[in-house]
């Protein structure tokens, strides 16, 4: 069976009881399946290196058309598809395994960055049309979300066996800004627009993050 989309969220971190990214992924999956798509979901640990390794293993196993990794960005005011992953780890707080890398590369042999291969502008436009606050983000930070995003893009760019698989990262805000049902609906809209949009919409305006 072929897989249309691999969706990942994160476990709770920084003392929180839940992580909205996993809740929205969990709730989006049945909605996407109801639309006829084949969906695999995975909850990733908030751990440098290991999270990206687990995602890579899932990509190799399922060979989805699309990979959308989702994380929580608590300070944000909308859903933010990320434009670019950067080859650096710089932790402000320890990850869930106690690691606090500072100024280390994600991949020692990798380029400085990778662009998302998701149509981030078209995704934002689809959410705006649905009245959901959204903007393109120009940085996924330097913590575990960026680590996973960079590892994903590096994998997809360098492993010829995975050629043609598109992927990227989306940050969701805290539940008091966008509740889980709305975040799940937003993920559905973004996956559906990404599946049918290979060339991104040329919309102006890199919004502030
Ligand atoms: N957010 C963190 C890591 C896990 C998550 O959900 C981040 O933005 O890096």
Question: Tens digit of pLDDT per residue, the chain (209 long)?
Answer: 689 999 999 999 999 999 999 999 999 999 999 999 999 999 999 999 999 999 999 999 999 999 999 999 999 999 999 999 999 999 999 999 999 999 999 999 999 999 999 999 999 999 999 999 999 999 999 999 999 999 999 999 999 999 999 999 999 999 999 999 999 999 999 999 999 988 898 888 655 54
Neighbouring-strand partners of residue 43: 9
Distance between CA atoms of residues 80 and 83, nearest Å: 9
Nearest atom within ligand 1 for CA of residue 171: 8
Give me the sheet containing 80-81, strands edge to edge: 39-44, 5-10, 66-72, 166-172, 80-81
Residue 165 Cα to ligand 1 midpoint, Å, equals 23
Within 6 Å (CB) of ligand 1, which residues are found?
10, 13, 19, 21, 46, 71-73, 141, 143-145
Would you state the pLDDT for residue 206?
Answer: 56
The pTM of the full predicted model, rounded to 2 decimals, is 0.96
Give catalytic residue positions: 82, 145, 171
Nearest by Cα to 98 from 140, 47, 133, 56: 47
Q: Is the dihedral of CA 172, 64, 83, 35 positive or negative?
A: negative
Of 10, 12, 44, 85, the residue with max ligand 1 atoms within 8 A of its CB, to mutate for a pocket test, comes to 10
Residue 20 Cα to ligand 1 midpoint, Å, equals 10
Nearest by Cα to 142 from 78, 76, 209, 93: 93
Q: To which H or E segment does residue 20 belong? A: helix 20-34
Nearest CA to ligand 1 atom 9: 145
Q: What phi and psi values does residue 131 have, to the nearest 5 degrees?
A: 75, 15
Nearest CA to ligand 1 atom 8: 145
């Amino acid at each position: 069976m072929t897989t249309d989309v691999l969706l990942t969220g994160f476990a709770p971190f920084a003392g929180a009881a839940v992580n909205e990214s996993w809740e929205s992924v969990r709730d989006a999956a049945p909605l996407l399946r109801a639309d006829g798509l084949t969906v695999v979901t995975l909850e990733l640990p908030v751990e440098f290196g290991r999270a990206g390794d687990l995602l890579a293993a899932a990509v190799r196993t399922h060979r989805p058309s699309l990979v959308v990794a989702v994380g929580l960005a608590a300070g944000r005011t909308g859903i933010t598809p990320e434009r670019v992953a950067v080859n650096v780890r710089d932790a402000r707080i320890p990850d869930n395994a106690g690691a606090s890398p500072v100024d280390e590369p994600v991949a020692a042999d990798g380029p400085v960055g990778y662009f998302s291969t998701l149509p981030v502008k078209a995704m934002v436009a689809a959410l705006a049309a649905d009245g959901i606050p959204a903007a393109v983000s120009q940085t996924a930070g330097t913590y575990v979300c960026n680590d996973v995003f960079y590892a994903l893009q590096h994998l997809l760019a360098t492993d010829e066996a995975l050629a043609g698989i598109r992927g990227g990262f989306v940050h969701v805000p805290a539940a008091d800004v966008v509740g889980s049902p709305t975040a799940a609906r937003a993920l559905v809209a973004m996956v559906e627009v990404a599946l049918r949009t290979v060339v991104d919409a040329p919309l102006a305006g890199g919004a502030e993050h």
